[in-house]
Amino acid sequence: MPAHAPTTRPHLAVVLLLAVSAVMPHCAARASDGAPPEGRELAEAYCSGCHAIGSDDTSAHPEAPAFRTLGRLYPVENLQEALAEGIVTGHPDMPEVAWHPDTIAVFLAYLKSIQVP
């Protein structure tokens, strides 16, 4: 029986990121229509394990801010560079992400659409 390398979460995350990045140019064109469902899908896939990503949920990680309140801390647009270069801070066990500009545009459109005063 041939030996198979075990599948790891980091490997799976890279595959998912590449797949999402490949379809994001189509989605970015819709980002100006409001909250694109693709933006929420990104938040669910990459962030919901720690962050509250909706309008009334609670963050699973106590140090992870709810996405709907990020605008209270700083302009959401300021995340663009960090998402492109790789966010390595945040809560202590936050994984590093580095996204394609089209992916970032869709994600930020979603974040902007859920902000509360």
Is 114 within 8 Å of 68 (Cβ atoms)?
yes
| Cα–Cα distance, 55 to 4 (Å, whole number) | 42
Query: What pLDDT is stored for residue 90 in this prediction?
Result: 63
Task: Supply the pLDDT for residue 4.
Answer: 47
* 5 in a structural domain: no
Tokens of 33: 């229509």
In 3D, which of 97, 106, 84, 99 has the Cα closest to residue 39? Answer: 106
Domain range spanning residue 47?
10-114
How far, in whole angstroms, is CA 38 from its chain's centroid? 10
- Looking at per-residue pLDDT, the higher value among 96 and 10 belongs to 96
Per-residue model confidence as pLDDT tens digits over 64-91:
999 999 999 889 999 998 888 877 666 6
Give domain status of residue 4, yes or no.
Answer: no
Is there a contact between 27 and 38 (Cβ–Cβ < 8 Å)? yes
- How many domains would you assign to the chain? 1
Write the CATH number for 53: 1.10.760
Each residue of 20-78: pLDDT tens digit? 444 444 444 343 345 668 999 999 999 999 999 998 999 999 889 999 999 998 899 99
